Amino acid sequence: MENDNPVLRVAPAPPAEAAAHFRASLAFHADVSDVAAALGAGGDPGFVLLDSRSTEAWDQGHIPGALHLPTALIREQAENLVDKSIPVVTYCWGPGCNGATRAALALAGLGYRVKEMLGGFEYWVREGLAYETWQGTETRPADPLTAPAPGAPCGC
Residue 6 placed within a domain: no
Question: In the predicted model, what is the mean pLDDT of residues 69-92?
Answer: 98
pLDDT in tens, 88-130: 999 999 999 999 999 999 999 999 999 999 999 999 999 999 9
Residue 41: pLDDT band with limits 50, 70, 90: confident
The number of distinct structural domains making up the chain is 1
Q: Report DSSP state, residue 3.
A: -
DSSP 17-79: HHHHHHHHHHHHEEEHHHHHHHHHTSS--SSEEEE-S-HHHHHH-B-TTPEE--GGGHHHHHH
What pLDDT, on the 0 to 100 scale, is given for residue 154?
63
Domain region containing 101: 30-138
Domain contains 16: no
Instruction: Judge whether 3 lies within some domain.
Output: no
Kindly report the pTM of this predicted structure: 0.90
Is there a domain that residue 22 lies in? no
In the chain, count H helices and then E strands. Answer: 6, 7
CB 63 within 8 A of CB 38: no
